[in-house]
Structure 1
Amino acid sequence: MSLRLSTVILPVRRWHEGGKERWQRAEELGFHTAYTYDHLSWRTFRDGPWFGAVPTLTAAAAATDRMRLGTLVTSPNFRHPVTLAKDLVTLDDVSDGRITLGIGAGGNGFDATALLKPSQEPWTPRERADHFGEFLPLLDRLLTEDVVSYEGEYYSASEVRNIPGCVQRPRLPFAVAATGPRGLKLAARHGQAWVTTGDPKLYENGTPEQSLQAIRGQAEKLATACDAIGRDVAELDKILLTGFTPDRPLDSFDAFVDFAGNHAELGFNEIVLHWPLPGTYFAADEKLFERIATEALVQLGGSTAGA
């Protein structure tokens, strides 16, 4: 399976002040997929511009023709399966079947507390996993069945209709972000792809070799989860969202080629790079970034980025 190269475009620019052009440039460069974060805000960007993922992707769908589009990642932190399903059916229609839903349990941060009363405590990791364990199967049903009724501990649906359903059949693909046992089981059962950012404990003090070993271990656990339900793990794409490991793949062209090759050997077939943003956590040389987009996969012996 050929290695693909994708990008994340953070929703921080006004659409008519450079936002639209960035998505179009991503398609020109041949990226397989352009994703965006589905947050209300994120880390150091909290006090600056930050636009909604679904409207941004809708606009991007109208501004591009070939490139896939998606979220990395949507979570239950401020979403409900019923309303999300309706948005996704519409977005998949507008894009003519080019949407991938990156989805995970979510984490701490602004999204996790924005809808809570001041007296409420944020969800614990176990509570996030509990919500996700109910959220994802219900969303799967909502996107594949014409009429859904459901009553659970956290979510309900009463004769919800999503006709005519997704352009992509039986539904748009799920790329499930997970590293723990419960999340990996959900990825094995419901995912068309699996997403990891590596082991966050290694980001500051770990080595690239330790990170590779940790990611290898995550992939092995995914394979075990697939085996447990009789699914071939090779059916799932393996996506690595970069920027959260000890590696520095955007330091040079050769650094990226080595990084991508090492992870391709672990079975990853999609590497996702953040579009450079000067003065931020994702600052990088944009000319180098564009060279990587257009030349790196050829050097690795894979397909072009958009294939």
Structure 2
Amino acid sequence: MRVSALILPVYPWREGRHIWREAEDAGFHAAYTYDHLSWRTFRDGPWFGAVPTLTAAAGVTRRLRLGTMVTSPNFRHPVTLAKDVMTLDDVSDGRITVGIGAGGIGFDAAVLGQAPWSTAERTERFEEFVPLLDRLLTDGDTTHHGKHYSAYEARMLPGCVQRPRVPLAVAATGPRGLALAARHGQAWITTGPARKGDETDPELLPGIIAGQLDGLARACAAQDRDPAELSHVLLTGFTREQPLDSVQAFVDFAGRYAALGIDEIVVHRPIPGTCFDPGQGIYEELPAALTAAFGA
């Protein structure tokens, strides 16, 4: 079991540089950031770009894995994203993971001036976006003519430091997204119920995630792939569970989900006075507590 941090891109770098180093020094496995242009209750405050933030974080850390949690087609194109990711992989000496999801509605979903896409269109775009991103990061020269995304002699040289490419962590709960994770992912991400802000009884949540894991296993079987080849990542903070009430509460929470097959839990670095306030005073203790409970 690993614990990773989610650091919102709300800090000017004179402050942020210390926060990313803090995550490495505390022993977190990875530190991720959201790839949005604005987000929820933070829309009227500072919010910096994910790619420059991760580039800067790569320069002040040495061991910590880094990545998006998650990027989406809402305002990204596979060709330009692949070039940015390849460069991040080089700058970080092979420490980048690309978390990727289908995107949602609201916040910055229509920031480029388009009408928000329906669930069906987001899924359709996602099914084209992920395979093309896979090809771009794997091959040196890609040409593709698709319904939503195209590439013409897109060069990705010298290629990724990590071979055959940077790992993809696919966020999915439904069968079509799980099929993409099984086909292209090195990790799978869940936040729990498919609907954000779901008021599901916390006692029912492990069963919901167990059902998602079963769906992932079926999707992997259809691809003749062992689901154990994928890391299983739980991003916390979007349910009524309270894993950050205390160190022991977090260890107990991790144990419940480890028993299901989750092997990485992501917690938000606390921000006082926000929805991510929980965890004050225990955040930096979590990696050592998990190591003590589960081993290195």
**Taking structure 2 as the reference length, what is the TM-score of the superposition?**
0.97
Q: 1:20-39, aligned counterparts within 5 Å?
A: 20-39=17-36
Q: Distance in 2 between matches of 1:85 and 1:206?
A: 37
Contact persistence 1:26–1:34 (CA under 8 A): yes
Q: Tell whether 2:256 aligns with 1:262.
A: yes
Q: Tell whether 2:88 aligns with 1:91.
A: yes
SS class of match (1:256): helix
Contact persistence 1:211–1:246 (CA under 8 A): no
Q: Distance in 2 between matches of 1:185 and 1:28?
A: 36
269 and 116 in structure 1: CA distance in 2 versus 1, 3 angstrom threshold? same
Q: 1:3-51: CA deviations, max 9, x gaps?
A: 11100000001001x1110000000001000000000011000000000
Q: 1:232 aligns with which of 226, 229, 233?
A: 226
Unaligned runs of 5+ in 1: none
Q: Tell whether 2:178 aligns with 1:193.
A: no
Q: Distance in 1 between matches of 2:102 and 2:279?
A: 32
Q: Distance in 1 between matches of 2:35 and 2:295?
A: 30
Q: Tell whether 2:98 aligns with 1:101.
A: yes
Contact persistence 1:179–1:196 (CA under 8 A): yes
Q: Distance in 2 between matches of 1:136 and 1:241?
A: 20
SS class of match (2:109): helix
> Which has the higher mean CA deviation after the structures are superposed, 284-293 or 29-38?
284-293
Quote the offset at 1:246 in angstroms.
2.0
How many residues are treated as equivalent by the alignment? 296
Aligned twin of 2:42: 45
Q: 1:73-84, aligned counterparts within 5 Å?
A: 73-84=70-81
Quote the offset at 1:204 in angstroms.
5.0
Q: Distance in 1 between matches of 2:226 and 2:174?
A: 19
Contact persistence 1:74–1:101 (CA under 8 A): yes
Quote the offset at 1:202 in angstroms.
8.5
Quote the offset at 1:159 in angstroms.
0.6
Q: 1:157 aligns with which of 120, 137, 151?
A: 151
- Counterpart residue identity of residue 10, structure 2: V
Contact persistence 2:251–2:289 (CA under 8 A): no
Q: 1:1-307, aligned counterparts within 5 Å?
A: 3-16=1-14, 18-117=15-114, 121-201=115-195, 203=197, 205-298=199-292, 300-303=293-296
> Which has the higher mean CA deviation after the structures are superposed, 129-138 or 197-206?
197-206
- Counterpart residue identity of residue 177, structure 2: G
Contact persistence 1:202–1:210 (CA under 8 A): no
Contact persistence 2:2–2:29 (CA under 8 A): yes
RMSD: 1.2
**Taking structure 1 as the reference length, what is the TM-score of the superposition?**
0.94
Q: Distance in 2 between matches of 1:30 and 1:164?
A: 31
SS class of match (1:170): coil
Q: Distance in 2 between matches of 1:86 and 1:180?
A: 29
Quote the offset at 1:295 in angstroms.
2.0
SS class of match (2:294): coil
Quote the offset at 1:160 in angstroms.
0.7
- Counterpart residue identity of residue 15, structure 1: W
Quote the offset at 1:257 in angstroms.
1.0
Q: Distance in 2 between matches of 1:138 and 1:114?
A: 23
Q: Distance in 1 between matches of 2:3 and 2:29?
A: 6
Q: 1:171-226: CA deviations, max 9, x gaps?
A: 00000000011100000000000000001559553222211110000000000000
SS class of match (1:113): coil
